[in-house]
Amino acid sequence: MLKPPRSAYIHIPFCHRRCFYCDFAIIPLGDNADSNGGVGSKTINDYLFFLKKEILSIKHKSPLSTIYIGGGTPSILNPNQIKDLIDIFKLNYGIDNGAEITMEVDPASFNENDLFGFIKAGVNRFSLGGQSFNNNLLEKAGRRHTFEDLENSCDWLQKAYSERLIRSWSLDLIQDLPSSNLDLWAIDLEKALTFKPPHISIYDLNIEDGTVFQRMIEIGKIALLNDEESFQNSKLTNSILRKSGFSRYEISNYSIPGHQSRHNRVYWKGIGWWSFGQGSTSAPWGIKFTRPRISQDYKQWVTSQCDEGLEYSLVNKSIPYLDLDEKIMLGMRLKEGVNLKRLFIEQGWDEEKTKTYLNQLLDTWKDFRENGILCNEGDRFFLSDPIGMDLSNQVLINMFRWWENIS
């Protein structure tokens, strides 16, 4: 029997509104939503009932070393509701001493008193969804908060960190937003650094199906940055953050020493994890499973879990692998890359098969290796920084073609 996962993700789907780039499984409650008995509180409490029921349905449990409360906007919940969720894991799974417990917060959904309440509830790491310090860009992205809200949130988090009330915090920014340019992006980066976050996540803007941004592009209301402009933004990001002491340990993530996200590394390493809540994806025993994205469907699924038995992927099975192509993809996102030979052996391939398939893969990557985009030290292959990480999609596309040909 495999050991149960040591990490859990909890999805809180509620938001005040849907941002123009968002295609997540969320429930917009309106700008006046309030979990303390106000607008949307009944919807929130109803969802939490089924979420807790799902968490308790798992039979094989081990103490957790990381918990991540994401969304959506978890900070729409009040501190007591966050405490209840953490306490369920504490009482029914166990939580390691020194566990990393992260919570996503939105600048327009909490104040300093709420922050102290979340800390008291057990959260010791926060991820702040700032996206930009520019009010014009925030408005055009459909964000509810202003740069003043974001500055206040950064101040509160940095104060809590400096007073050792929390272990770390992270600031999220989005590069390549419509109407942005290199100068505005430089201002955003420099402004972010004035608050001294130990961790910064820089996400490229992706246009997803069904989003407001997709519709606005189709009718010509907005235009995206071209490839050269995006490349210059990425180049500037690397330059500024490197000079400020940050290391790019994953394609979208930078930290000062000792502040990498332990929870997110579980995903990139392909290690099993629990996940709870509508639309969330778990892979505890090597098989991925995504819960229903629609609220009513999710509630019905939870009920069936308790009445009829757990979904197949949630039962302890001796299937220790995600698909090989996915393990390579996730591992290549990390600075250290992946040991391909070791992955192939774990796949169950003998020495001859490993050698044959490795040579085939390296042949598809020949140009990337010659151009310094893809590097290796022995059997460990990794993307160069910054060029390789910025062109990772091209490298991975070739890998997926190789996988399709042999699988």
The model's pLDDT over 160-176, given as tens digits with 9 standing for 90+, comes to: 999 999 999 999 999 99
Q: Are residues 248 and 376 in the same domain?
A: no
330 and 264 together in one domain: no
Residues 334, 258 within the same domain: no
Looking at the structure, do residues 256 and 352 belong to the same domain, yes or no?
Answer: no
Confirm whether 293 is domain-assigned: no
Is residue 238 domain-shared with residue 345, that is, in the same domain? no
For residues 203 and 346, membership in a common domain is answered with no
- For residue range 71-92, list pLDDT tens digits in order: 999 999 999 999 999 999 999 9
d(CA 266, CA 1): 20
At residue 179 the predicted structure's pLDDT band, cuts being 50, 70 and 90, is very high
| Residue at 278 is within a domain | no
Question: Measured between alpha carbons, how far is 14 from 41 in angstroms, rounded to an integer?
Answer: 11
Rg of the chain (C-alpha set): 22
pLDDT digits (tens, 9 = 90+) for 216-266: 999 999 999 998 999 999 999 999 999 999 999 999 999 999 999 999 999
Residues 254 and 328 in one domain: no
Same domain, residue pair 155 and 261: yes
Q: Domain range spanning residue 235?
A: 7-268
pLDDT at position 233 is 95
pLDDT tens-digit profile of 310-342? 898 898 765 555 789 999 999 999 999 999 999
Q: What is the distance between the alpha carbons of residues 65 and 234, in angstroms, rounded to a whole number?
A: 33
Euclidean distance between CA atoms 216 and 13, whole angstroms: 24
How many domains are contained in the chain?
A: 2
- Give the pLDDT band (50/70/90) at residue 100: very high
What is residue 312's predicted lDDT score, i.e. its pLDDT?
A: 86
Residue-wise pLDDT for 375-385, tens only, equals 999 999 999 99
According to the model, what pLDDT value does residue 285 have?
86
Q: Tell me what pLDDT residue 130 has.
A: 98
Give the pLDDT band (50/70/90) at residue 271: confident
Asked if residue 291 belongs to a domain, the reply is: no
pTM over 0.85: yes
DSSP code, position 385: T
Which residue among 268, 289, 306 closes a domain? 268
Q: What residues contact residue 368 under an 8 Å CB cut-off, 6+ apart?
A: 374, 388, 394, 395, 398
Question: Do 210 and 353 lie in a common domain?
Answer: no
Average pLDDT of span 61-72: 96
- Look at residue 322 in the predicted model and tell me its pLDDT: 74
- Between CA 5 and CA 284 the distance in angstroms is 6
The predicted pLDDT at position 83 comes to: 98
Q: Summarize the confidence of residues 337-352 as an average pLDDT.
A: 92
Distance CA(200)–CA(219), nearest Å, equals 34
Q: Which pLDDT score is estimated for 321?
A: 57
Are 203 and 333 in the same domain? no
* Residue 193 within a domain: yes
Please give the average per-residue pLDDT across 280-298, as a whole number: 93
Q: Identify whether residues 17 and 142 lie together within a single domain.
A: yes
Contact 82, 121 (CB under 8 A): yes
Q: Is residue 60 over pLDDT 90?
A: no
CATH number at residue 19: 3.30.750.200
277 within domain boundaries: no
Point out the domain boundary residue: 226, 248, 268. Answer: 268
**296 lies in some domain:** no
Mean pLDDT of 337-350: 92
6, 7, 8, 9 alpha-carbon torsion, rounded to 10°:
-170
**Helix (H) and strand (E) counts in the chain:** 16, 16
| Residue 350 phi, psi (nearest 5) | -80, 180
CA 395 to centroid of chain Cα atoms: 22
pLDDT top residue among 305 and 347: 305
Tell me the mean pLDDT in the region 52-77: 96
- Note whether 158 and 87 are same-domain residues: yes
Please enumerate in sequence order all residues whose Cβ is within 8 A of that of 33, keeping only pairs 6 or more positions apart, or say none: 14, 16, 39, 40, 76
Q: Does residue 288 fall inside a structural domain?
A: no
Tell me the C-alpha distance between 26 and 279, whole Å: 8
CB atoms within 10 A of CB 373: 19
Q: Is residue 303 part of a domain?
A: no
Going by pLDDT thresholds of 50, 70 and 90, the confidence category of residue 372 is: very high
Please say which residue of 268, 301, 333 terminates a domain.
Answer: 268
